[in-house]
Protein backbone atom coordinates (compact mmCIF):
# COMPACT_ATOMS: atom_id res chain seq x y z
CA UNK A 1 0.00 0.00 0.00
CA UNK A 2 1.43 3.34 -1.00
CA UNK A 3 -1.05 5.77 0.52
CA UNK A 4 0.69 8.68 2.20
CA UNK A 5 -1.14 10.98 4.56
CA UNK A 6 0.10 14.53 4.10
CA UNK A 7 -2.13 16.30 6.59
CA UNK A 8 -3.67 15.38 9.90
CA UNK A 9 -7.27 14.27 9.50
CA UNK A 10 -9.48 15.47 12.34
CA UNK A 11 -12.67 13.45 12.87
CA UNK A 12 -15.66 15.44 14.07
CA UNK A 13 -19.33 14.61 14.62
CA UNK A 14 -21.84 13.49 17.20
CA UNK A 15 -21.35 11.17 20.14
CA UNK A 16 -21.59 7.64 18.74
CA UNK A 17 -20.66 8.64 15.18
CA UNK A 18 -17.59 6.43 15.52
CA UNK A 19 -14.86 9.07 15.76
CA UNK A 20 -12.92 7.00 18.31
CA UNK A 21 -13.56 3.52 16.87
CA UNK A 22 -13.29 4.43 13.17
CA UNK A 23 -10.37 6.80 13.86
CA UNK A 24 -8.31 4.05 15.47
CA UNK A 25 -9.07 1.57 12.68
CA UNK A 26 -8.34 4.21 10.02
CA UNK A 27 -4.96 5.03 11.57
CA UNK A 28 -4.10 1.30 11.69
CA UNK A 29 -5.02 0.92 8.04
CA UNK A 30 -2.95 3.92 6.97
CA UNK A 31 -0.07 3.05 9.36
CA UNK A 32 -0.12 6.50 10.92
CA UNK A 33 -0.34 7.65 14.57
CA UNK A 34 -3.76 7.80 16.23
CA UNK A 35 -4.76 10.38 18.83
CA UNK A 36 -8.05 10.95 20.64
CA UNK A 37 -8.51 14.26 22.43
CA UNK A 38 -10.76 12.69 25.10
CA UNK A 39 -8.17 10.01 25.86
CA UNK A 40 -5.47 12.65 26.11
CA UNK A 41 -7.54 14.75 28.51
CA UNK A 42 -8.30 11.68 30.64
CA UNK A 43 -4.64 10.70 30.75
CA UNK A 44 -3.46 14.20 31.70
CA UNK A 45 -6.10 14.53 34.41
CA UNK A 46 -5.86 10.90 35.54
CA UNK A 47 -9.67 11.00 35.63
CA UNK A 48 -12.45 9.78 33.37
CA UNK A 49 -14.54 12.26 31.33
CA UNK A 50 -17.58 11.84 33.65
CA UNK A 51 -15.34 12.46 36.67
CA UNK A 52 -13.91 15.63 35.10
CA UNK A 53 -17.42 16.93 34.30
CA UNK A 54 -18.57 16.14 37.82
CA UNK A 55 -15.61 17.57 39.68
CA UNK A 56 -14.58 20.55 37.52
CA UNK A 57 -17.58 21.19 35.29
CA UNK A 58 -18.07 21.35 31.53
CA UNK A 59 -16.38 24.76 31.09
CA UNK A 60 -13.17 23.38 32.60
CA UNK A 61 -13.38 20.34 30.28
CA UNK A 62 -13.89 22.58 27.22
CA UNK A 63 -10.83 24.66 28.12
CA UNK A 64 -8.66 21.54 28.44
CA UNK A 65 -10.16 20.19 25.22
CA UNK A 66 -9.14 23.32 23.28
CA UNK A 67 -5.59 23.16 24.65
CA UNK A 68 -5.22 19.49 23.81
CA UNK A 69 -6.60 19.87 20.28
CA UNK A 70 -4.37 22.88 19.53
CA UNK A 71 -1.38 20.81 20.60
CA UNK A 72 -2.28 17.47 18.98
CA UNK A 73 -3.28 18.92 15.63
CA UNK A 74 0.34 20.01 15.18
CA UNK A 75 1.35 16.36 14.71
CA UNK A 76 1.60 15.98 10.99
CA UNK A 77 0.08 13.10 9.04
CA UNK A 78 -1.94 11.53 11.85
CA UNK A 79 -5.58 10.78 12.69
CA UNK A 80 -7.05 12.90 15.49
CA UNK A 81 -10.45 11.97 16.87
CA UNK A 82 -12.14 14.74 18.81
CA UNK A 83 -14.99 14.71 21.32
CA UNK A 84 -18.42 15.53 19.89
CA UNK A 85 -18.49 19.07 21.28
CA UNK A 86 -15.05 20.13 20.10
CA UNK A 87 -15.99 21.43 16.65
CA UNK A 88 -18.64 23.70 18.19
CA UNK A 89 -16.14 26.25 19.39
CA UNK A 90 -14.97 28.60 16.68
CA UNK A 91 -11.38 28.74 17.95
CA UNK A 92 -11.19 24.95 17.74
CA UNK A 93 -12.53 25.00 14.19
CA UNK A 94 -9.88 27.56 13.32
CA UNK A 95 -6.92 25.56 14.63
CA UNK A 96 -8.30 22.37 13.11
CA UNK A 97 -8.80 23.91 9.68
CA UNK A 98 -5.49 25.77 9.73
CA UNK A 99 -3.33 22.77 10.58
CA UNK A 100 -5.40 19.79 9.46
CA UNK A 101 -8.44 18.75 7.50
CA UNK A 102 -11.77 18.17 9.23
CA UNK A 103 -13.92 15.19 8.36
CA UNK A 104 -17.49 14.81 9.62
CA UNK A 105 -18.68 11.29 10.37
CA UNK A 106 -22.36 11.82 9.72
CA UNK A 107 -24.75 9.25 11.19
CA UNK A 108 -28.52 9.50 11.59
CA UNK A 109 -30.01 10.17 15.00
CA UNK A 110 -31.43 6.64 15.44
CA UNK A 111 -28.05 5.09 14.61
CA UNK A 112 -26.33 7.35 17.12
CA UNK A 113 -28.88 6.48 19.77
CA UNK A 114 -28.47 2.73 19.17
CA UNK A 115 -24.72 3.11 19.66
CA UNK A 116 -24.76 5.26 22.79
CA UNK A 117 -27.89 4.12 24.65
CA UNK A 118 -26.25 1.43 26.76
CA UNK A 119 -23.15 3.46 27.62
CA UNK A 120 -22.73 5.54 30.77
CA UNK A 121 -19.54 7.29 29.69
CA UNK A 122 -21.16 10.44 28.26
CA UNK A 123 -22.07 12.92 30.98
CA UNK A 124 -24.19 15.10 28.68
CA UNK A 125 -26.63 12.19 28.29
CA UNK A 126 -27.15 11.69 32.01
CA UNK A 127 -30.57 13.33 31.90
CA UNK A 128 -34.13 12.17 32.57
CA UNK A 129 -34.72 11.65 28.87
CA UNK A 130 -31.37 10.95 27.19
CA UNK A 131 -32.99 10.13 23.83
CA UNK A 132 -34.54 13.61 23.74
CA UNK A 133 -31.30 15.21 24.93
CA UNK A 134 -29.39 13.49 22.13
CA UNK A 135 -31.98 14.72 19.64
CA UNK A 136 -31.72 18.31 20.89
CA UNK A 137 -27.92 18.22 20.75
CA UNK A 138 -28.08 16.66 17.27
CA UNK A 139 -30.40 19.36 15.92
CA UNK A 140 -28.27 22.14 17.37
CA UNK A 141 -24.98 20.74 16.12
CA UNK A 142 -25.61 19.39 12.63
CA UNK A 143 -25.32 22.84 10.98
CA UNK A 144 -21.93 23.28 12.65
CA UNK A 145 -20.60 19.85 11.68
CA UNK A 146 -21.65 20.71 8.12
CA UNK A 147 -18.83 23.27 8.11
CA UNK A 148 -16.27 20.44 8.07
CA UNK A 149 -14.04 20.17 4.99
CA UNK A 150 -15.20 16.61 4.23
CA UNK A 151 -18.23 14.46 5.09
CA UNK A 152 -18.70 10.71 5.13
CA UNK A 153 -22.15 9.28 5.89
CA UNK A 154 -22.22 6.38 8.38
CA UNK A 155 -25.01 3.92 7.58
CA UNK A 156 -26.94 2.03 10.32
CA UNK A 157 -25.62 -1.50 9.95
CA UNK A 158 -22.30 -0.77 8.38
CA UNK A 159 -19.12 -2.32 9.78
CA UNK A 160 -16.28 -0.19 11.08
CA UNK A 161 -14.06 -1.66 8.35
CA UNK A 162 -16.48 -0.57 5.65
CA UNK A 163 -16.59 2.89 7.18
CA UNK A 164 -12.79 3.02 7.01
CA UNK A 165 -12.99 2.08 3.29
CA UNK A 166 -15.41 4.96 2.71
CA UNK A 167 -13.26 7.45 4.58
CA UNK A 168 -10.19 6.42 2.55
CA UNK A 169 -12.17 6.73 -0.70
CA UNK A 170 -13.15 10.26 0.34
CA UNK A 171 -9.60 11.20 1.33
CA UNK A 172 -8.35 10.00 -2.04
CA UNK A 173 -10.45 12.73 -3.64
CA UNK A 174 -8.04 15.13 -1.96
CA UNK A 175 -4.49 14.44 -3.19
CA UNK A 176 -3.30 17.31 -0.98
CA UNK A 177 -4.42 15.18 1.99
CA UNK A 178 -3.89 11.56 0.87
CA UNK A 179 -1.32 10.88 -1.80
CA UNK A 180 -1.91 7.57 -3.58
Asked if 145 and 13 count as a contact pair (C-beta separation under 8 A), the reply is yes
Q: Is residue 20 involved in binding Mg ion (CB under 5 A)? A: yes
Q: Is residue 93 involved in binding ligand S3P (CB under 6 A)? A: no
Q: Whose CA is closest to 163, among 5, 23, 37? A: 23
Any binding-site annotation on 84? Answer: yes
162 Cβ neighbours under 8 A, 6+ residues apart: none
Quick one: 6 or 108, whose CB is closer to ligand ADP? 108
Any binding-site annotation on 18? Answer: yes
Site string for ligand ADP, 62-101 (x = CB under 6 A): -------------------x--x-----------------
Map residue 173 onto helix, strand or coil: coil
Using the CB atoms, write b or e for 99-125: b if 16+ within 10 Å: bbbbbbbbbebebbbebbeeeeebbbb
Binding stretches for ligand ADP (CB under 6 A): 15-22, 81, 84, 115, 154, 158-160, 163
* Contacts to ligand S3P by CB under 6 A: 15, 19-20, 38, 49, 83-85, 122-124
Amino acid sequence: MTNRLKKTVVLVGMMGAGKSAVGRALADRLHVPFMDSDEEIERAAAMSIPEIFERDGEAFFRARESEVIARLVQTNGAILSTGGGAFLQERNREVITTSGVSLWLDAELQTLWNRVRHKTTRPLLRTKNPRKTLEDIYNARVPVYAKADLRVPSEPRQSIDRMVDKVIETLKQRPDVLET
